[in-house]
Amino acid sequence: MQARYVLRIGAVFALAAGTSAATASATPAQHPPNYVKQATATGTGGAVASAEFNASKAGIETLRSGGNAIDAAVAVASTLGVTEPFVAGAGGGGYMVIYLAKTKQVVTIDGREMCAAACTPNLFLDPATGKPLAFEDARRSGLSVGVPGMVATWDKAVKAYGRKSLGSNLKPAIEVADHGFTVTPNFVDQEKEALADLQTFTSSRKLFLTKDGQPLPAGSTLRNPDLAHTYSEIAKHGASYLYGGPLGNDIARAVTHPPVWSGSTFNVRPGLMTAQDVANYVAKTRQPTHVNYRGLDVYGMPPSSSGGTTTGEALNILNGWNLSGESRAEATFHYLEASRLAFADRNAYVGDSDYQPVPVQGLLDPAFAATRRCLVGNKALTSPVAPGIPFAPYGTCPTSKTAANPVHEGTQTNHLVVADKWGNVVSYTNTIEQVAGSGITVPGRGFLLNNEMTDFDFAPATPSTYDPNLPAPGKRPRSSMSPTIVLKAGAPDFTLGSPGGATIITTVLQTLINHVDFGMSLPQALAAPRVSQRNNAKADAEPAFLSTDLAKVLTSQYGEQFAAKTGPVLPADSFIGNATGIDFLPGGRFQAAAEPVRSGGGSALVVNPQ
């Protein structure tokens, strides 16, 4: 089978897709509302927010048909694999944080991609020169592809915590893939950014481009029968269809024998992955990170992600200042400096904890945060700031010496949030890394493969530098994904997360303090202009932030320096993050929030709108 697209301006397949038996089974008193795309939705019965309308609708329909938040999260994620294929899908991985209402417990699932058994620390070194490969040479290759963890995450979550089967939760995505959806301007922008990658591989050209190898026209309808068939086989046979089955064999074959187009001029290196590597993959349950901030319990993702430790450390540093009592300029200055310091420690100490010890306890110790806070005066620190020493007993403002490594994390990720009527909550960030990942579509399967292995450091910053993030057999690269759930008095208060590579952490952090310290509603906190300091000489800032008086004061009075966030093709590259969240309001109400403008705006829905 192959994808087919039809030029149909104003097509309504996107609105009709996903209407399944779930809707038909609703009682007369539960007729589904007339769903529309909106950035904020308030109501009862459950809530969903994601970057895309069809995906959010799939989640709401799953809730309406008796599924819980875990079931709905899988429905949303699998549908995003259809409608947002350049940032999501079965060829990637991610991290899921879950609040279980029955046990009042937060659990996490690490579905991060895994390096092949043949991986070595030299994975991205040129054998001829011994030097690191150029990033695009590494990315556009089989070497960059890790064993996908997405389907394993869905399977593990549903079996442990869901109310429905994996197959049932995949039905909305199957229908959207089979019936088709409308190609949006944002979809076309992503095609343009990844055009050279998509053109390199015959399977990607066939699925995502016109016959002459150009982006699809906005307003056309894209069908993906291959993906509908792949999802249907997973629904029928379970995750073993991928892990140890025919789909895993096809993935390994695409990695070791990339389907390179005969007209390509790129040197596409084959990868090391075997079918056995795919069969050996396991999504892991891990203990969440936890810090207390202003009386709230903030839970996040532990290593192999750096999201929970870095956000948590920054919050601990900020706990030493009363941001709500400071001027907005002083409070923002403290936010920038806390982030700068936390990133220095992230880069020095965080990697896959299954391979190197990560001092999570020290990084999240308020006493360690005090040794970082004491470095902050009235002027911006000079980056790169040296990391601290997160090992007790802590000294007085001590630092260690280390060199910085370049960060290659792609910004085109996705985040979704779901809450159900029983009180369960899911915060789930997942990705295939860069726009279009490695560029390789698995032939006949309808989805792109990730390039997550380029999140490893290609080499130590210096030969003597300790580096916890080098490739190794079966290892997971460090991530910045930061799905977050916040409790108040033991019950959900709000949840949020974002895509954006390393800016995920600062987006979550800034949104959280906007909401908690500055008193913004969650939609306001998401929409506010963003600035991201990640231990760089200049902080990345959105144009909307740079135009404010606040930015001028931070520069003139506090010595902060800013660089305009820009990108080569995508209008979205001038934005930082693409966040979603849910606020839990009195009376059992939910307020779901998505971006109103960034990347064309997201989609927030509730079961029973008010």
Interacting residues of 143 by C-beta distance below 8 A, sequence separation 6+: 123, 124, 269, 270, 271, 272, 453
Q: What is the pLDDT of residues 363-380, one digit of tens each?
A: 999 999 999 999 999 999
Mean pLDDT of 404-425: 76
Query: 31 pLDDT band (50/70/90 cuts)?
Result: low
Tell if the pTM clears 0.85, that is, is over it: yes
Query: 395 pLDDT band (50/70/90 cuts)?
Result: confident
With a cut of 50, say whether residue 3 has pLDDT above it.
no
Q: How far apart are CA 514 and CA 169, in angstroms?
A: 35
Q: How far apart are CA 518 and CA 520, in angstroms?
A: 6
138: number of Cβ within 10 Å:
23
The predicted pLDDT at position 599 comes to 84
Contact 529, 542 (CB under 8 A): yes
Q: What is the pLDDT of residues 99-125, one digit of tens each?
A: 999 999 999 999 999 999 999 999 999
Query: 501 pLDDT band (50/70/90 cuts)?
Result: confident
Q: How far apart are CA 93 and CA 476, in angstroms?
A: 11
Say how many residues make up the chain.
Answer: 610
Q: Indicate the SS3 state at residue 486.
A: strand
Q: What is the pLDDT of residues 201-242, one digit of tens each?
A: 999 999 999 999 999 999 999 999 999 999 999 999 999 999
Query: 27 pLDDT band (50/70/90 cuts)?
Result: very low
Q: What is the pLDDT of residues 552-588, one digit of tens each?
A: 999 999 999 999 976 655 555 688 999 999 999 999 9
With a cut of 50, say whether residue 16 has pLDDT above it.
no
Q: If you search the block for the tokens 């040129």, which residue do you land on?
A: 126
SS3 readout for 389-424? CCCCCCCCCCCCCCCCCCCCCCCCCEEEEEEECCCC
Q: Where are the domains positioned within the chain?
A: 285-409+479-609
Q: What is the pLDDT of residues 33-76, one digit of tens each?
A: 778 899 999 999 999 999 999 999 999 999 999 999 999 999 99
Active site residues: 413
Select from 271, 302, 270, 272 the least CA-distant residue to 285.
302
Query: 402 pLDDT band (50/70/90 cuts)?
Result: low
The predicted pLDDT at position 6 comes to 45
The predicted pLDDT at position 355 comes to 95
Mean pLDDT of the chain: 91
Q: How far apart are CA 557 and CA 329, in angstroms?
A: 9
Element (H, E) at 349: helix 328-349
Q: Which of 11-25, 168-182, 189-203, 382-396 has the lowest mean pLDDT?
A: 11-25
The predicted pLDDT at position 35 comes to 84
The predicted pLDDT at position 152 comes to 98
Q: What is the pLDDT of residues 458-499, one digit of tens each?
A: 998 777 778 999 999 999 999 999 999 999 999 999 999 998
* Residue 532, phi then psi, degrees to nearest 5: -135, 115
- CA dist 451 → 227, 510, 527 (Å): 20, 28, 30
With a cut of 60, say whether residue 96 has pLDDT above it.
yes
- Rounded to 10°, the helix 53-64/69-83 angle is 150
The predicted pLDDT at position 12 comes to 30
Element (H, E) at 371: helix 366-373
The predicted pLDDT at position 153 comes to 98
Q: What is the pLDDT of residues 301-359, one digit of tens each?
A: 999 999 999 999 999 999 999 999 999 999 999 999 999 999 999 999 999 999 999 99
Task: Write the Ramachandran bin of 122: left for phi over 0, alpha for psi from -120 to 50, otherwise beta.
Answer: alpha
Q: What is the pLDDT of residues 207-216, one digit of tens each?
A: 999 999 999 9
Q: Which CATH number fits domain 285-409+479-609: 3.30.43.10, 3.40.50.300, 3.30.70.270, 3.60.20.40?
A: 3.60.20.40
In the chain, what percentage of residues exceed pLDDT 70?
91
Query: 397 pLDDT band (50/70/90 cuts)?
Result: confident
Q: How far apart are CA 56 and CA 17, in angstroms?
A: 12
